[in-house]
Amino acid sequence: MGQTWSDHLDLLIRARTPILWIRSPEEERIATLLGEGARRLGQRLLLRWDFIQGLRGLPNREGEAARNPLAALQCLDGLTGVQGAILVLHDFHRYSEDGAVCRKLRNLFVSLRQHPHTVVITAAEWQLPRELEECITVLDLPLPEPDAIRALLMSIAQASEQPLAPNELEQLAHSCSGLSEQRIRQVAARGLARRGRLGSDDLAEILEEKRQAIARSELLEYCPSEASPADIGGHEALKQWLERRHQAFSDEARRYGLPLPRGVLLVGPQGTGKSLTAKAIAHGWAMPLLRLDVGRLFAGLVGASEARTREMIQRAEAMAPCVLWIDEIDKGFGGDGRSDGGTSQRVLASLLTWMAEKSSAVFVVATANGIERLPAELLRKGRFDEIFLLDLPDAIERRTILDLQLRRRRPEHAIPLEVVVDRSEGFSGAELEQTVVEAMHLAFSEGREFGEADLIGAAAQLVPLARTAREQLEALKQWASSGRARPASRRP
């Protein structure tokens, strides 16, 4: 069995790590975990300090050092003897720029190696001063594990004198995966206030809590989708591959030994259905679709982009199982890393490491219009489960797309399409849709129903991307034909 987070915490404290930064906003959960650790490590003292309430945990010194961060650090000076202490400082990162506080922390880094005391600073984010970078050990607090979630839900249900049935407990625990302990307690409190007990009726409330977490984020957008694979014209090879990957999310696949799917990179010219495919995957798999705005990852402050990437990953995992759609990834990571001090390269490295090592059911769908700006490490085998080229549709696919677009607007249409298909060679799916819309405009302006002649006329007026960007499309096909990407369509 691998080392747990609590084991790692105990090891750091036993090794007399002077100053720990536990990176998480969950103060009460941290205090609980540290209290359990203090008991495991020989009844160490657990002290807590915040700016308003001061020191807590020492008899006759309650409230000491209120509104005085430097005095909070000095309280360890008077603790002698063999009994160790853990001093938890809340919001203390706000005072680290003060010269005296910074100097005291550096002094403690040296002196606490001789004493069984540990300083623990809790903060969700902290831009470490350069002087403290070598003094602070960072420990990320993961979201609650399934066993911890079950135990928490059981304790809440038992306290309400309405115990959960085993199947209800499993359903709720699975749905709460990815929520913080505080959020789980809030959802449970609302369920108890509304119905007097926890149960399967709370599943919708849990999903809404996850959606609210996404809404509070500046990085991710929750995208409801009604698209289905049937709305995609062509790309049969891609559809079949996606169906196989969908099966790999099942419990049977875990028992078989299959890992959770990582994701897919969709490359192709504009209008070939990349965005529609991302939406169809989420809807067809009955998973939430989260769209990542890559540009918002790159914040102005040094180190903030990496922090935002961690936040994005945590929020995506909170919605698992879900589809994470990284739209136009080539624009986000296709620049020169030297121009931004290497920020984009560090963010990309963090993203790729997570994709390779993640154990959560987050399926990444990245889309790109071209490969000339994509970094080589993104295209390396193993980053995604597969890379697909979505090419311009052939004649059979053009007919399918035109028929889909027409039936969406005229379910019983009987318009012959042979000539339109022939006249639309080189059109993308989006351009074929625009052809139908333009034909409808032509007929509507004359107060009549549209027909084949209107479609032919609309196609003649449109200049497709295949003509205006011929060189880029040829280069993309040549790159894919070298074996670096699979074709999304089956063609002779």
pLDDT for the residue numbered 318: 78
Taking the C-alpha atoms of residue 268 and residue 51, their distance in angstroms, rounded to an integer, is 55
Residues facing 266 on adjacent strands: 367, 388
In residues, how long is the chain? 492
Quickly state the pLDDT bin for 208 (edges 50, 70, 90).
confident
Distances in whole angstroms, Cα of residue 467 to Cα of each of 185, 307, 309, 476: 58, 43, 39, 15
Task: Please answer whether residues 369 and 269 qualify as being in contact, where contact means their C-beta atoms are separated by less than 8 angstroms.
Answer: yes
pLDDT for the residue numbered 379: 84
pLDDT for the residue numbered 381: 75
Identify the residue whose tokens are 């084949």: 452
Q: What is the mean pLDDT of residues 460-481?
A: 86
Concatenate the DSSP letters of all residues of 367-429 into one string.
EES-STTS-HHHHSTTSSSEEEE-PPP-HHHHHHHHHHHHHHH-TT-----HHHHHHTTT--H
Q: What is the mean pLDDT of residues 13-27?
A: 95
pLDDT for the residue numbered 247: 92
Q: What is the mean pLDDT of residues 441-456?
A: 95
Tell me: pLDDT of 216 over 90: no
Q: What is the mean pLDDT of residues 15-42?
A: 94
Identify the residue whose tokens are 């007929």: 443
Q: What is the mean pLDDT of residues 124-130?
A: 90
- The reported pTM is 0.74
Least confident piece of the model among 194-208, 288-302, 351-365, 367-381? 288-302
Nearest Cα to Cα of residue 116 among 87, 85, 89? 85
Q: Who contacts 393 (Cβ-Cβ below 8 Å, separation ≥6)?
A: 233, 234, 272, 400, 401, 427, 428, 429, 432, 489
Taking the C-alpha atoms of residue 388 and residue 490, their distance in angstroms, rounded to an integer, is 12
Quickly state the pLDDT bin for 2 (edges 50, 70, 90).
low
Peptide bond into 321 cis (omega under 30): yes
Tell me: pLDDT of 91 over 80: yes
More confident residue, 481 or 301: 481
Quickly state the pLDDT bin for 419 (edges 50, 70, 90).
very high
Coarse DSSP helix, strand, coil percentages of the chain, rounded to the nearest 5 percent: 55, 10, 35
Backbone angles phi, psi at 363, to 5 degrees: -95, 120
pLDDT for the residue numbered 89: 97
Q: Which two tokens stand for residue 369?
A: 């219009």
Tell me: pLDDT of 178 over 80: no
Fold of 395-461: Helicase, Ruva Protein; domain 3 (1.10.8)
Taking the C-alpha atoms of residue 353 and residue 371, their distance in angstroms, rounded to an integer, is 21
Peptide bond into 59 cis (omega under 30): no
pLDDT for the residue numbered 1: 41
Nearest Cα to Cα of residue 92 among 69, 64, 66? 69
Alpha carbon 272 to its chain's center:
25
Architecture of domain 5-140: 3-Layer(aba) Sandwich (3.40)
The 19-23 sheet, strands edge to edge: 54-56, 45-50, 85-90, 117-123, 19-23, 137-140
High-pLDDT (> 90) share of the chain, %: 54
pLDDT for the residue numbered 81: 61
Nearest Cα to Cα of residue 415 among 450, 376, 374, 380? 450
Backbone angles phi, psi at 378, to 5 degrees: -75, -30
Mean of all residue pLDDT scores within the chain: 89
Question: What CATH number has the domain spanning 222-389?
Answer: 3.40.50.300
- Domain extent listing, the chain: 5-140, 146-216, 222-389, 395-461
pLDDT for the residue numbered 298: 75
Q: Where are the beta strands (DSSP E) in 141-219?
A: none
- The pLDDT tens digits for 295-352 are 778 765 556 788 888 888 888 887 888 899 999 888 878 665 555 667 788 888 888 8
User: 10 Å Cβ neighbour count for 78?
Assistant: 8
pLDDT for the residue numbered 319: 80
Taking the C-alpha atoms of residue 209 and residue 218, their distance in angstroms, rounded to an integer, is 16
Task: Please answer whether residues 55 and 63 qualify as being in contact, where contact means their C-beta atoms are separated by less than 8 angstroms.
Answer: yes
Taking the C-alpha atoms of residue 464 and residue 470, their distance in angstroms, rounded to an integer, is 10
Q: What is the mean pLDDT of residues 213-220?
A: 78
Taking the C-alpha atoms of residue 328 and residue 2, their distance in angstroms, rounded to an integer, is 38
Tell me: pLDDT of 222 over 90: no
Taking the C-alpha atoms of residue 417 and residue 207, their distance in angstroms, rounded to an integer, is 45
pLDDT for the residue numbered 302: 54
pLDDT for the residue numbered 335: 60
Strand bridging mode 137-140 / 45-50: unpaired
Coil, strand or helix at 45: strand
Q: Who contacts 4 (Cβ-Cβ below 8 Å, separation ≥6)?
A: none
**Residue 469 identity:** A
Backbone Cα Rg of the chain: 29
Tell me: pLDDT of 210 over 90: no
Tell me: pLDDT of 121 over 50: yes
Nearest Cα to Cα of residue 419 among 445, 404, 438, 398? 398
Q: What is the mean pLDDT of residues 422-444?
A: 95
* Fold equal for 5-140 and 395-461: no
Least confident piece of the model among 24-28, 259-263, 379-383, 484-488? 379-383
Task: Please answer whether residues 181 and 152 qualify as being in contact, where contact means their C-beta atoms are separated by less than 8 angstroms.
Answer: yes
